[in-house]
Structure 1
Amino acid sequence: MANQITSIRGMNDIYGDDAVAFDYLIGTAEKTLQRYGYNSIRLPIVEKTELFARSIGEVTDIVEKEMYTFADRNDESLTLRPEGTAGCVRAIVQNGLSHNQIQKLYYTGPMFRYERPQKGRYRQFHQFGVEVFGLATPDIDAELIVLTARLWEQLGLDNLELQINSLGSQEARVAYREKLVEYLSQYKDKLDEDSLRRLDSNPLRILDTKNPEMKDIVDGAPKLIDHLDVESQEHFDIVKSHLDDIGIPFVINPNLVRGLDYYNRTVFEWVTTELGAQGTVCAGGRYDGLVEQIGGKATPAVGFAMGIERLVTLLTDKNKVPSIAKADLYIVTVGDNVSRPGLVISEMVRDAFPNVNVQMNCGGGSFKSQFKKADKSGAKYAIVMGEQEIEEKVVAVKPLRVEGEQQTVEWEALINHLETLFNS
């Protein structure tokens, strides 16, 4: 026997209850976004490496350490996407979708980062992303946050805290960066290795450190929110006012800077204390300069991404995934020549009731074994067909989870009979 082949570390199979929760989450999110006027976009998993180096930033941890990058047969450098925004922007630019248009889009799929796998952090993980192009006003920032709050409500998730901040304009960030570097340089002997490396390349990321030994230094640092330009401050004030009007509580986190270089102005995260260290389940913000940075015309943009695996963990831990029956109707067929008419009956029922899940027993078995399967399927009713029923052109309709007696019904009358049962 050959050695067993296993999956790659940090790239997991999703099945059973997790798969049910996965589909439920994505389906609920899609319905929510469609209610707000958003449309689906499908994006490639592989992009040119230059796209991420240009958008995310060459000195970020993602580009320096975490990307799955390889050369194809033409010796072109390609990368498995580590996040979705850059690819969505590339699609907008390449297909001319931002020319005098507003685009409100959503997408979902796997992302890839080479990092140490742990609960809530994997090398292949899934995101649900939302991006808006062509709107510069703070009302769309607020709408994105509001619709995520509505999604949590629909999913039955509570104990999620909204943290918000503003990164201001690019010019304000440059001026603040100088003040921050000047402050942090006083503590070079106390900075950890990552912070020392970031001091020259990306000092704002030091504010987001998870090292508890750095807490006092970070807490004493000048705050970007205190150095905003006037327009960014007004923008942020309006976002906060919208959230107050809707009644969505939030916490201003001055150290919330996001891990990617392209953000400006509004940034936000939804966090929980119920997932340990990986507590962020949704994060995003405004990135007005990215479209131009990737080669398009200057276009305001804002978006967010949700971590599917982390939200699935919350849903399953809290028993928030509704029980979904595999079948509404189960067809039991026993006998040598019963499966063929059984298949005909099953398709006849599917044609008549597009929203009814019909499961037909396959593989044979006794009445007892098939009724066990019928019960396990969650079906309310079973259609029972044996050799005698085939000969008489009737079926037995047996209630499994509702009150009532088993009834014998002629084939021609079956659809009307089922319609009465389903509508009762």
Structure 2
Amino acid sequence: MSQKINGVKGMNDLLPGEIEIWQFVESTARTLFGRFGYGEVRTPMVEDTALFVRSVGEETDIVGKEMYTFEDKGGRSLSLRPEGTAPAARAYIEHSVNNQEPVSRWFYMGPMFRYERMKTGRYRQFSQIGAEAYGAKEPAQDAELMDVVVQFLEALGLTDVTLNINSLGDDNCRPAYHAKLVEYLNAHKEELCADCQQRLERNPLRVLDCKNEKCQAVAAAGPNVLEFLCEPCRAHFTDLQRKLGVLGIRYVVNHRLVRGLDYYTRTVFEFIASHPALGTASTVGGGGRYDKMMKGLGGPDVPAVGFAMGLDRLVLLLKESGKTFAQRPDLFIAVADEGSQDEGLKLASRLRREGLKVDFDTRGGSLKSQMKRADKSGARFTLVLGEQERTTGQAKLKPMAGGEPVPVALDSVAATVRAQPEAPAPAPAC
């Protein structure tokens, strides 16, 4: 017997019964982002490795440890995208979008890839929903993006999420903070984990990202980046907080928040859920301002700000909500005899053309077994088609949640089903 082939570890299948939650999140995102004027973009899953080295940062864990990188047949180094901001920026530059419009607002959704230790809500193929705004340097644009996320979470019914914000300053004020941080961390080097001791040499800000409790305790007592902000950065952060107040958005200032990527300047933010289902992977989304990236990638000197949300984590939270996302059939068609099988197939096809969600078991079988399948399907109504119904052109719609059958002409089934009041879905049969 041939050996069974399993899926790649950390890359999950999505099957009916679960995929409906993903579709709900995706459709909600498209609707909500569209209200804010964000248009969808789709970039390739594979990019030149140099794109991520130059944007995300060579010393980050993503580039240094987690990317899926390979050499193609032409000898080029390519990588599966580990995040969505850099590919979107590359597309913006490559297509000279800045010459077409002064401000561009995009959103994207799709799979990303990182080879990292797996746990709840953290996988090697994961999906993100993100948005980017190019051309506006004002705090109002930062606030608008956070408003997008707040309204998106509300539309999903996820309310127990806290917004954390911080400012990392810019090239004028960050060097002074960086020097003070290095001085402090060096004084506490022996208290840091092995990874953070290496980060201290390569990229000290990453120490503030560490989830090790001892490293977190060291970071908590370290210098506060907000005390080093220059006047323009301080004014930007102050105005951002004022605008969040105008929008009625609650937030927490977290001076240890740095995010895990090198391209951020000034504003950074995260949305953190407190639900135990996520374990330690409690950040459901985050982002910030990256005003220097576009020029650093060979493009125009255009300011930008964006965010990404982990779709896998949002789905985990929605699963815990107990809500039902699957769309149940409007109608289950059962056939009472073999002679009605073709007519049942034909009726199902016509009603689907007319917009009904129709379940029809092509295997046929006894009427009793078909009615069991109708119960299990959760359909609103069942129509039994037999010789009498075919001859008279009349049938009955049986409400599966209980109630009296509804007489119906076979040529007006769709209209009759739509006219019936919606009833609660019946409990699935065991």
TM-score range, shorter chain: over 0.9
Aligned-pair distance for 1:423?
9.1
- Residue 290 (str. 1) matches residue 309 (str. 2): no
- Residue 311 (str. 1) matches residue 314 (str. 2): yes
Aligned-pair distance for 1:419?
4.8
When residues 410 and 37 of structure 1 are mapped into structure 2, their CA distance, relative to the original with a 3 A threshold, is same
Secondary structure of 2:173's match?
A: helix
Q: What is the identity, as a one-letter code, of the residue corresponding to 1:28? A: T
- Residue 365 (str. 1) matches residue 368 (str. 2): no
Q: Is the 8 A contact 1:385 1:396 kept in 2?
A: no
- Residue 26 (str. 1) matches residue 15 (str. 2): no
Aligned-pair distance for 1:16?
4.5
Report the aligned-residue RMSD.
Answer: 2.0
| Structure 1, unaligned runs of 5 or more | none
String of CA shifts for 1:349-382, please: whole Å, max 9, x gaps: 2333x3x322223211221211222222222222
String of CA shifts for 1:260-293, please: whole Å, max 9, x gaps: 0000111100112322211111111111111111
Aligned to 1:179: 180
Aligned to 1:208: 209
When residues 422 and 351 of structure 1 are mapped into structure 2, their CA distance, relative to the original with a 3 A threshold, is farther
Q: What is the identity, as a one-letter code, of the residue corresponding to 1:89? A: A
When residues 295 and 5 of structure 1 are mapped into structure 2, their CA distance, relative to the original with a 3 A threshold, is same
CA distance in structure 1 between the aligned counterparts of 2:139 and 2:189, rounded to whole angstroms = 38
Pick the aligned partner of 2:282 from 268, 279, 289. Answer: 279
CA distance in structure 2 between the aligned counterparts of 1:171 and 1:386, rounded to whole angstroms = 81
Aligned-pair distance for 1:323?
4.3
Secondary structure of 1:240's match?
A: helix
Secondary structure of 2:372's match?
A: helix
**Equivalent residue pairs, number:** 420
Aligned to 1:192: 193
Q: What is the identity, as a one-letter code, of the residue corresponding to 1:202? A: N
Aligned to 1:391: 391
Pick the aligned partner of 1:341 from 337, 340, 343. Answer: 343
Aligned-pair distance for 1:70?
0.5
CA distance in structure 1 between the aligned counterparts of 2:207 and 2:218, rounded to whole angstroms = 10
Aligned to 2:127: 126
Q: Is the 8 A contact 1:380 1:402 kept in 2?
A: no
Q: Is the 8 A contact 1:127 1:308 kept in 2?
A: yes
CA distance in structure 1 between the aligned counterparts of 2:415 and 2:305, rounded to whole angstroms = 52
Aligned-pair distance for 1:252?
0.7
When residues 413 and 177 of structure 1 are mapped into structure 2, their CA distance, relative to the original with a 3 A threshold, is closer
Aligned to 1:3: 3
Pick the aligned partner of 2:334 from 332, 335, 354. Answer: 332
Any residues of structure 2 matched to 1:38-187 within 5 Å, and which? 38-99=38-99, 100-187=101-188
Aligned to 1:238: 239
Secondary structure of 2:359's match?
A: strand
TM-score scaled to structure 2, two decimals? Answer: 0.92
Aligned-pair distance for 1:18?
3.0
CA distance in structure 2 between the aligned counterparts of 1:350 and 1:87, rounded to whole angstroms = 40
Aligned to 1:421: 420
Aligned-pair distance for 1:125?
0.8
Q: Is the 8 A contact 1:38 1:104 kept in 2?
A: yes
Deviates more, 1:159-168 or 1:244-253: 244-253
TM-score scaled to structure 1, two decimals? Answer: 0.93
CA distance in structure 2 between the aligned counterparts of 1:106 and 1:402, rounded to whole angstroms = 45
Q: Is the 8 A contact 1:51 1:86 kept in 2?
A: yes
Secondary structure of 2:237's match?
A: helix
Aligned to 1:266: 267
CA distance in structure 2 between the aligned counterparts of 1:379 and 1:396, rounded to whole angstroms = 15
Deviates more, 1:97-106 or 1:76-85: 97-106
Pick the aligned partner of 1:301 from 301, 304, 310. Answer: 304
Aligned-pair distance for 1:48?
0.9
Q: Is the 8 A contact 1:333 1:361 kept in 2?
A: no
When residues 12 and 415 of structure 1 are mapped into structure 2, their CA distance, relative to the original with a 3 A threshold, is closer
Q: Is the 8 A contact 1:334 1:364 kept in 2?
A: no
CA distance in structure 2 between the aligned counterparts of 1:317 and 1:413, rounded to whole angstroms = 40
When residues 210 and 421 of structure 1 are mapped into structure 2, their CA distance, relative to the original with a 3 A threshold, is closer
CA distance in structure 2 between the aligned counterparts of 1:291 and 1:333, rounded to whole angstroms = 63
When residues 414 and 236 of structure 1 are mapped into structure 2, their CA distance, relative to the original with a 3 A threshold, is same
String of CA shifts for 1:320-357, please: whole Å, max 9, x gaps: x33433311222223323232223322332333x3x32
Q: Is the 8 A contact 1:343 1:360 kept in 2?
A: yes
Deviates more, 1:213-222 or 1:249-258: 213-222
When residues 367 and 195 of structure 1 are mapped into structure 2, their CA distance, relative to the original with a 3 A threshold, is same
| Structure 2, unaligned runs of 5 or more | 424-430
CA distance in structure 2 between the aligned counterparts of 1:416 and 1:306, rounded to whole angstroms = 41
When residues 109 and 416 of structure 1 are mapped into structure 2, their CA distance, relative to the original with a 3 A threshold, is closer
Aligned to 1:322: 324
Secondary structure of 1:382's match?
A: strand
Aligned-pair distance for 1:56?
0.6
CA distance in structure 1 between the aligned counterparts of 2:418 and 2:109, rounded to whole angstroms = 37
When residues 299 and 324 of structure 1 are mapped into structure 2, their CA distance, relative to the original with a 3 A threshold, is same
Identity of aligned residues (%): 41
CA distance in structure 2 between the aligned counterparts of 1:134 and 1:213, rounded to whole angstroms = 41
Q: Is the 8 A contact 1:334 1:365 kept in 2?
A: no
When residues 313 and 335 of structure 1 are mapped into structure 2, their CA distance, relative to the original with a 3 A threshold, is same
String of CA shifts for 1:375-422, please: whole Å, max 9, x gaps: 222222222211332233333322222533242x44344455445436
